Amino acid sequence: MRIPDPLTPILCPKGKGGVPRLWRTLLAIVLLLAPSIALAQSCPAGLAHATRLLLVVPAGMNSTTAYAQRFSRASPQASWRSAGGPFTALLGYRGVGWSHSFRSFAAKGESLKVDGDLRAPAGVFRIGGSFGFAPSHRPGYLQLVPGTVCVDDPRSPAYNTITSRARVGWRVHGENMWRVRQYRQGLAVDYPTDRAARAGSCIFIHLWLNGTTGTHGCVALPAPWLTAMQNFAQDGAVLAVLPRRALARFKGCLPEAGRR
């Protein structure tokens, strides 16, 4: 059965200029939301939808320390507000390299992250649960006990995962986490990688020990800031490690206060 055309003006009565009133209303809503829609489309998904952020900004790709600050916002459409800092974070002995999943943001001559390069990954990553030597009541907390290992062996299907020696055996190369003093306190980073490309593994936010001048590829924080970060990240947060010259590549996605 064909619906008569006269129903259209009944459902969408015309306002001034002959434009149906309902369509004028919908158009106004679309125009109002357009900036938010554009932002969601142009920003990396993890950053576009985040409401908590740890922003880490090294001066250059080879910098071993960085400006760091926490930010939060009420919703993805709201403005970022400072939630702690600034403070200094420690990075890899050789600085940072763009992660495999963010290689499209790398400018000519900028390093890409690979296993064993002693560089922290640049990009935006979701922060996972807390871990440490002592027990804790934090949701999702992992207590590191004898046998806890993070596999960094690209030959293993368990590459880039935290598991136990009982499962993978002792021949698989990995970090015996219960023996690493920096892991007395820390946070996992949900780091997307590529086993075939050896694109990096076992990335954490961990403790900055006195006298340490670099990490093997992680972000290290002083104990008070790390404890605060563990509390801050319980409600979900992302880590953004972005060299200062790369901030403009994420225009409109970052807190203005972070553009130092």
If you average pLDDT over residues 20-29, what whole number do you get? 48
Amino acid at 211: G
Quick one: pLDDT band at residue 240, thresholds 50, 70, 90?
A: very high
| pLDDT tens digits for range 112-135 | 999 999 999 999 999 999 999 999
- Are 26 and 62 found together in one domain? no
**Residue 223 placed within a domain:** yes
- Are 12 and 139 found together in one domain? no
- Are 90 and 133 found together in one domain? yes
- Are 208 and 241 found together in one domain? yes
- Are 116 and 25 found together in one domain? no
Model pLDDT, residue 222: 97
Q: Is pTM beyond 0.85 here?
A: no
- Are 21 and 130 found together in one domain? no
Asked if residue 237 lies in contact with residue 54, where contact means CB atoms within 8 angstroms, the answer is: yes
**Residue 116 placed within a domain:** yes
- DSSP SS3 for 27: helix
Model pLDDT, residue 7: 31
For residues 215 and 223, what is the distance between their CA atoms, to the nearest angstrom? 15
Higher-pLDDT residue of 6, 68: 68
Model pLDDT, residue 23: 46
If you average pLDDT over residues 171-179, what whole number do you get? 97
Higher-pLDDT residue of 94, 2: 94
- Are 137 and 13 found together in one domain? no
**Residue 155 placed within a domain:** no
If you average pLDDT over residues 9-31, what whole number do you get? 43
**Residue 253 placed within a domain:** yes
| pLDDT tens digits for range 39-94 | 334 899 899 999 999 999 999 999 999 999 999 999 999 999 999 999 999 999 99
Model pLDDT, residue 258: 56
For residues 38 and 2, what is the distance between their CA atoms, to the nearest angstrom? 39
Model pLDDT, residue 260: 52
Residue 20 burial class via C-beta count within 10 angstroms: exposed 0-12, middle 13-18, buried 19 and up: middle
**Residue 250 placed within a domain:** yes
CATH number of 136's domain:
2.40.440.10
- Are 56 and 107 found together in one domain? yes
Model pLDDT, residue 241: 98
**Residue 108 placed within a domain:** yes
- Are 55 and 120 found together in one domain? yes
- Are 126 and 211 found together in one domain? yes
Model pLDDT, residue 12: 34
Model pLDDT, residue 42: 82
- Are 36 and 49 found together in one domain? no
> Structurally, how many domains does the chain consist of?
2
Asked if residue 115 lies in contact with residue 233, where contact means CB atoms within 8 angstroms, the answer is: no
If you average pLDDT over residues 20-24, what whole number do you get? 53
Nearest to 206 by CA among 53, 56, 91, 99: 91
**Residue 112 placed within a domain:** yes
- Are 130 and 220 found together in one domain? yes
Q: What is the mean pLDDT of the chain?
A: 87
Model pLDDT, residue 41: 45
- Supply the range of the domain harboring residue 32: 7-42
Longest dimension (CA), the chain: 81
Residue 154 pLDDT > 70, yes or no?
A: yes
Residue 9 pLDDT > 90, yes or no?
A: no
Quick one: pLDDT band at residue 22, thresholds 50, 70, 90?
A: low
For residues 137 and 44, what is the distance between their CA atoms, to the nearest angstrom? 32
Geometric angle at alpha carbon 69, from 91 and 175, rounded to 5°: 35
**Cβ neighbours of 234 (radius 10 Å):** 16
Task: Give me the count of residues in the chain.
Answer: 260
**Residue 171 placed within a domain:** no
If you average pLDDT over residues 25-32, what whole number do you get? 42
Residue ranges with strand state E in the chain = 52-58, 65-72, 81-90, 96-98, 120-132, 142-143, 148-151, 162-164, 174-176, 185-190, 204-207, 219-221, 238-241
CA quadruple 229, 233, 239, 244: dihedral positive or negative?
Answer: negative
